Amino acid sequence: MASDEGLTEECTRLIPLAEIDPRDERFRITTRRDSDDLLISIGRLGLQAEPLMLPGASGFVIVSGFRRIAACRGLGWDSIRAQVLHKASPYGCALKAIAANSLERPLNLIEISRALRLLDQYAPGGQAPPEDTAALGLPTHAGMAARLKTLCRLPAEVQDAVLEEAVSFAMACEIGRMEERLALAFARLFRELKTSLNKQREIVTLVAEIARREGIDPMGVLSEERLSRLLEAQDLDRNQKTQRIRKLLRQRRFPALVAAEDNFHSRRQRLALGENLQLAPPRDFEGTRFTLTLNFESMEEVGRLREKLDELVDHPDFKTLLTGKGRGFEETQVP
Amino acid sequence: MRITALYIDAQVADWPETRSICSRFDVPAKTVANADDVYADVAAAPDPVGRGKQVLYLTRNKGAFIRQCPGTRHYTCCGYKILHVGTFCTMDCAYCILQSYFHPPVLQYFLNHADLNVELEQLFATGTTHRLGTGEFTDSLIWEPWTGLSAGLIRKFADQDCCVLELKTKTTFIDTLLYLPHRRRTILSWSLNTERVIGSEERGTASLDARLKAASRCAAQGYPLAFHFDPIVIDEGCEEEYRRTVAHLFSVIDPRHIVWISLGALRFMPDLKGVVQRRFPQSKIAYGEFITGLDGKMRYFKPLRMKSYRAIAQAIGSHAPDVCLYFCMEDDEVWQDALGFRPAECGGLSRMLDDAAVRQCGLNAGGNRR
């Protein structure tokens, strides 16, 4: 690993917990704040791996072992055995802090982000050698690393959404470019809906485009009353909420298209086609050819379909479906 | 936009017209072996599209000067021929498809007019009626302050009787053209839009009133005119604004001078949306109710197009019932809905426009028809 390694000396010492500064988290990688699992194992088996400490002006700075130290405090211990680093550069400490996590377990996205930022923060020249990054098992692709580094600077609530996997990496990067209150609003929405990336993207795009179209703040779109009511509806599950919110937004973004779709569906419903006959319009009503699908398995069924087709030809709604596009198949249209 | 860099293809560096054009600019000219340096200059800019409007490259057209307008089978094309005299534009319209059509977009002016003339002579020799225009890959008249392009073309077309030239513009650069012996073989045409769209989306173009006044001056010199409501931008209340624009048009122009008027709603390849969002963050045109058309372009939802077309066609019809009105790239359903007939009933759109050209421009009525 880094050339810095040779300058670091370690010795094991008994350190009073009172001399460890719990607020100094400069080397913290882990996102976990709980230590209940460690409290049980350390309480029963003792401290199996010693935390790493750096002597500081106002006590010891934790390099690795944040959760272990918290567990020891929870157990009411006065002191612990720890490895104390001497002559260690900040960059050397950063390498050790990251290695203690990344070489032991898979890091989550926020931890990777913190690790990459920590390296940059302390690396001589402001950028860690790619060899160090690779040795720590961190991504080395410059573009990917740059995007990852933004994650740990996001508002805490957005980071929580990432950790819960309610917001994917791609979406986190997208909402990370927004102003904070909007990013938070989206994070809250997606934590509630727990929906797929594609649907999240659709929602973000719809909100942004409605705002541009109507000349309003995107927050105004997200805090619209009907949307809020849907989010709070007790009788809807997450999928139903997602579906209705998407429909609501689409209706606002494409009012004429959605109205025509609704009119088309109403008229088609009135045709009472039955399950063996399907009528599909051209995509987005742009083309001129409709598709009629007939399902049958006997001559009797074919006969019934023929009768239904004869009925259709004279049906005013059918005529409007074929000729009423110019007026969006409006219900008020004279058939 | 002002030209800030001038590149000259080494192959045309010594040509008299090259020197003449260069003398009209007070920027240093750089002679280059090929277009690579020009493209590098444009591509390196933070806004390559904007930069492309400031960099003029004088060169040769290494391909055909006369090209068929690229229509698609899904929509009715008018069978226009493009006279490829140059590329790109100094004006900056938010919706301009040229922003994403050329990679990178560069203002090029082709100087090998001897080749252009050969192609024109060959076309004229067929005796077939053709409509040609220079305003597809560039604005026809932006070149007027620096070149004698249009004057040369107008004279050339005046010497034959089967083809008509259309010069399509959003400028008012007509002074050099007014007193030419055109024999009505050149149609001067203007893209028209509502004052709101011109003000918000057509940066650097002439106002509606200025365009119409320029058209009126051309009509006074006997030039046939054409107008293109293209792109029609559809949003709340747009129909009323287009009606007012139509009324403005006919308050200035006598319909008898008009060869044709086209209507075309805004349509664009999907790539353009990102360009508009980046270059024109205040513009709302990318947020209309667009669907993907049968040709892959983004188009307004068809019932919306039909509604706007009906309103505008009705307004035009009330002022000029006999004018040749057509749609650029729409299908029979739209024609039938807005105009009450399909082009096939008139022998096809090409025939309709050829007939209008014969009628209004005095082309040889006995000429071969396509």
| pLDDT, tens digit (0-9, with 9 covering 90-100), for B213-242 | 999 999 999 999 999 999 999 998 999 999
A vs B, Cβ pairs < 8 A, gives 55
First to last CA, chain A: 80
**A226-279 pLDDT tens trace:** 999 999 999 999 999 999 999 999 999 999 999 999 999 999 999 999 999 999
- Distance CA(B95)–CA(B197), nearest Å, equals 10
- Quick one: pLDDT band at residue A8, thresholds 50, 70, 90? low
Q: At B368, is the pLDDT very low, low, confident or very high (cuts 50, 70, 90)?
A: low
Strand order from edge to edge, sheet including B290-292: B267-268, B298-300, B290-292
Residue A215 Rama label (left phi>0; alpha psi -120 to 50; beta): left
Tell me the chain A residues in contact with residue B284 when contact means C-beta distances shorter than 8 Å.
212-213, 215
B131-185 pLDDT tens trace: 999 999 999 999 999 999 999 999 999 999 999 999 999 999 999 999 999 999 9
- β-bridge partners, B269: none
How far apart are the C-alpha atoms of B187 and B158, rounded to whole Å? 11
d(CA B101, CA B91): 16
Q: What percent of chain A is modeled with pLDDT above 70? A: 96
Interface test with A, best of B289, B331, B334 (most A CBs within 10 A): B289
- Write the CA distances from B173 to B114, B213, B215, B229, integer angstroms: 24, 12, 10, 20
Answer yes or no: is pLDDT of B105 > 50.
yes
pLDDT in tens, B268-285: 999 999 999 999 999 999
* A256/B299 Cβ within 8 A: no
The answer to whether B342 faces chain A, any CB pair under 8 Å, is: no
pLDDT-based confidence at A335, cuts 50/70/90? Answer: very low
Q: Is the pLDDT of residue B75 over 50?
A: yes
Contact B293 A286 (CB under 8 A): yes
Give the separation between CA B192 and CA A326, rounded to whole angstroms.
24
Tell me what pLDDT residue A328 has.
86
Q: Is residue A133 predicted with pLDDT exceeding 60?
A: yes
- From the list A213, A286, A328, the residue facing B294 with the nearest CB is A286
CB distance A257–B294 less than 8 Å? no
Residue among B75, B77, B69 nearest B331 (CA): B75
Name which of B289, B302, B332 is nearest A286 (Cβ-Cβ): B302
Report, as an integer, the average pLDDT of B329-351: 94
Most A CBs within 10 Å, among B287, B332, B339, to test the A interface: B287
Q: Are B162 and B364 in contact (CB under 8 A)?
A: yes
- Residues of B in Cβ contact (< 8 Å) with A285: 291, 301-303
> For residues B225 and B189, what is the distance between their CA atoms, to the nearest angstrom?
5
**Nearest C-alpha of chain B: how many angstroms from A206?**
10
The pLDDT of residue A86 is 86
Spatial distance between the Cα atoms of B27 and B3, rounded to a whole number of angstroms = 8
Residue B310 contacts A, CB cutoff 8 Å? yes
Q: Is A287's Cβ below 8 Å from some Cβ in B? A: yes
Name the one residue in this structure whose structure tokens are 């980046």.
Answer: B278
* Contact in structure between A268 and A279 (CB atoms under 8 Å): yes
Instruction: Output phi, psi for B169, to 5 deg.
Output: -150, 165
DSSP string, A149-182: HHHTTS-HHHHHHHHTTSS-HHHHHHHHTS-HHH
Closest by Cβ to A254, choosing from B286, B289, B332: B289
> Is A323 an 8 Å CB contact of chain B?
no
The answer to whether the Cβ–Cβ distance between B292 and A284 falls below 8 Å is yes
Q: Work out the minimum CA distance from A257 to partner chain B, whole angstroms.
A: 7
Contact list in A for residue B296 (CB cut-off 8 A) is none
**Residue A209 contacts B where some CB pair is shorter than 8 Å:** yes
User: To the nearest whole percent, how much of chain B has pLDDT over 70?
Assistant: 98
Q: Which residue of B has its CA nearest to A207?
A: B287
Q: Determine the distance from the C-alpha atom of residue A287 to the mean position of all C-alpha atoms in its chain, rounded to a whole number.
A: 37
Q: Which two tokens stand for residue B184?
A: 């009505």
Q: Give the separation between CA B174 and CA B176, rounded to whole angstroms.
A: 6
Q: In this complex, do A325 and B306 lie within 8 Å of one another by their Cβ atoms?
A: yes
- Note the helical H segments in B130-237: 149-158, 195-201, 208-220
Tell me if chain A has a CB within 8 Å of the CB of B337.
Answer: yes
CA–CA distance from A109 to each of A70, A186, B139, B325, B352 (Å)?
A: 23, 19, 51, 60, 64
C-alpha distance from A283 to closest chain B C-alpha (Å): 9
Phi, psi torsion values for B167, nearest 5 degrees: -105, 110
pLDDT, position A87: 81
Interval B305-338: pLDDT, tens: 999 999 999 999 999 999 999 999 999 999 999 9
Residue A212 in contact with partner chain B when CB distance is under 8 A: yes
- The predicted model gives B184-205 an average pLDDT of 97
CB contact under 8 A, A212 and B287: yes
Chain B residues with CB under 8 Å of A255 CB are 289
Put simply, the chain B residues between 168 and 197 with a CB less than 8 A from any chain A CB are none
The per-residue pLDDT for range A155-191, each reduced to its tens digit, is: 999 999 999 999 999 999 999 899 999 999 999 999 9
Residue pair B330/B262 in contact by the 8 Å Cβ criterion:
no
Q: Is B289 on the interface with A (CB under 8 A)?
A: yes
The pLDDT assigned to A58 comes to 82
Contact B150, B176 (CB under 8 A): yes
Q: Give the closest residue to B306 by CA, choosing from B330, B342, B323.
A: B330
The two three-digit tokens of residue A129, written as one number = 């050698």
| pLDDT of the residue at B77 | 84
Q: Are the C-beta atoms of A152 and A121 separated by less than 8 Å?
A: no
CB-based contact, A284 to chain B, within 8 Å: yes
Nearest CA in chain B to A214: B284
Question: Cβ of B271 under 8 Å from any chain A Cβ?
Answer: no
Report CA-CA distances (Å) from B163 to B152, B156, B354: 15, 10, 9
Q: What is the mean pLDDT of the segment spanning A13-25?
A: 92
Indicate if the pLDDT at residue B298 is higher than 70: yes
Q: Does the structure show a pLDDT above 70 at A325? A: yes
Closest CA relative to residue A65, chosen from A54, A77, A76 = A54
Reply yes or no on whether the pLDDT at B27 is more than 60.
Answer: yes
Cross-chain residue pair B302–A215, CB shorter than 8 Å: no
Q: Per-residue pLDDT for B366 more than 70?
A: no
Provide the shortest C-alpha distance from residue A96 to chain B (in Å).
Answer: 41
**For chain B, what is the mean pLDDT?**
95
For residue A6, pLDDT over 70 is answered with no
**pTM recorded for the entire structure:** 0.87
- The candidate with the shortest Cα–Cα distance to B82, out of B68, B70, B102, is B68
A260 and B337 within 8 Å at the Cβ level: the answer is no
CA distance A253 to chain B (A): 7
Cross-chain Cβ contact B303/A213 below 8 Å:
no
pLDDT at B102: 82
Q: pLDDT tens across A67-99, in order?
A: 999 999 999 999 999 999 988 899 999 999 999
Shortest CA distance from B309: residue in chain A: A326
Average pLDDT over residues B198-212: 97
Give the pLDDT confidence score for residue A2 in this predicted structure: 47
Among candidates B297, B228, B293, B235, which has minimal Cα distance to B269?
B297
**Residue A256 touches partner B, C-beta closer than 8 Å:** yes
**Dihedral pair phi/psi, residue B5, rounded to 5°:** -145, 140
